Amino acid sequence: MLPQSFTMIATIIIVLAQTFVGVSSLPESDKISNLPGQPQVKFQQYSGHITVDDQHQRALFYYFVEAEEDPASKPLVLWLNGGPGCSSIGVGAFAEHGPFRPSDNNVLEKNDYSWNKEANVLYLESPAGVGFSYSSNKSFYVLVTDEITARDNLVFLQRWFTKFPEYSNNDFFITGESYGGHYVPQLAQLIVQTKTHFNLKGIAIGNPLLEFNTDFNARSEYFWSHGLISDSTFEILTRVCNYSSIRRQRQNGNLGGVCERASKQLYAEVSDYVDEYDVTLDVCLSSVNQQAYVLHQLQETQKIDVCVGDKTTTYLNRKEVQEALHAKLVGVTKWSTCSSVLHYDYRNLEIPTIPILGSLVKSGIRVLVYSGDQDSVIPLISSRYLVNGLAKEIGLETTVAYRAWFEEKQVAGWTQTYGDMLSYATIRGASHEAPFTQPQRSLVLLKAFLEGKQLPSVK
């Protein structure tokens, strides 16, 4: 019997071969004339559903914005938000680095630091059950896995390129954040394994979940070093019950004993009124939604600073907006930032993806891991440790020593490069969703990565 991985790859190859048949829609049918309330722009926008499973009627929704200038020569960037189960359109496009942000009175304001200044950007709501993406077979939602998500994302890309063949030769990059630390490298690995003919050049992931124990245990040190918890609580979290144990027990529904007491003490000190996704921000008291709520260890109603998220929810639930986007709701009554119907297999959170980064580097795929340094959910402590350890493991020497990088003569963060293939960078003053709080610095980071250049040093 063939190993499961070989069986899955063979299945994917067959499915991809089938995607060249039956895709009859033209890009013009997905073209957006204008989004309600948007300012005038010169670039084109497209959106719509692409079926990834004909038999079970599963379709993923995308929003694509061409580069502001010379899209034919600019790279193509795929963006995947995390969760698992949160929208790349609601968070990535409308709160972080898309061309518009909702404001008061349902008006869209131009984002001066949109990523489509440097690339053609494709936002994908994945897996099915997120945002406008859906499955007509509701049993799909019962237990969705990383493997299913990667497979559907790969089929989506193949069919998307069939609709937009003019982008098939552009340099291609996969990017994302948070649980995108699973989605992004797993999709890239599947592309490499199946020898799919995408011009994949690199991946970039922000504040990514890469290794369960390392990432979650780093939270305790981050809380303590930023004055959010006492010395005694920090000692409990390091000697009695570490944070990954609390997270695991909560995930499995059996939090109790010393870990439950440690958790209560921790959050009594941190307070509900600190935004754990950016510990320097005040909270938006009217808001209760957030992108990476599944990674959150309390409850979905934890208040954080996402007032723009509320405006996005209102905007995307307007009928005329959905019509302009060619979007439809299937099995839900309204669009939401994070899925209420999707049941993800949370055991997948413990799948380490840091080894995949190593295999991608060995395959010639450039990798960037970056951290908003004000995030306590997946703090820079763990990401830097994991990337440094990976470089040593695969024998990459430091080619650019750890140093500050700059944006407009101000320190924008710190960075280190290994073997010119693996890089780590922090974004100073940035949150878990780095482009939301530091859009200009995030754009500088993206531009350098796409061009294969080092981040700017002081002039």
- CA distances to 91, 181, 245, 247, 262 from 242, rounded to whole Å, are 30, 22, 6, 9, 9
Q: Which pair of structure tokens corresponds to residue 148?
A: 């299913």
Exactly one of 87, 114, 126, 178 is catalytic; name it. Answer: 178
Among the listed residues 49, 182, 296, 432, the single catalytic one is 432
Helices 180-193, 146-163: crossing angle, 10 deg rounding: 60
The phi and psi torsions of 415 (rounded to 5 degrees) equal: -150, 155
Name residue, tokens 């922090």: 426
Q: What is the dihedral of CA 228, 205, 190, 79, to 10 degrees?
A: 110
Q: Annotated catalytic, 70?
A: no
* Cis upstream peptide for 127 (omega within 30°): yes
Which member of 152, 375, 376, 382 is catalytic? 375
CB under 8 Å to 258, separation ≥6 — which residues? Answer: 236, 240, 241
- Please confirm, yes or no, whether 373 is among the known catalytic residues: no
Do residues 197 and 20 touch, judged by C-beta distance below 8 A? no
Cα–Cα distance between 63 and 277 in angstroms, integer? 25
Q: How far is CA 379 from CA 134, 156, 226, 239, 308, in A?
A: 32, 31, 12, 20, 23
- In 3-state terms, what secondary structure has residue 453? coil
Catalytic, 432? Answer yes
Query: Known catalytic residues?
Result: 178, 375, 432
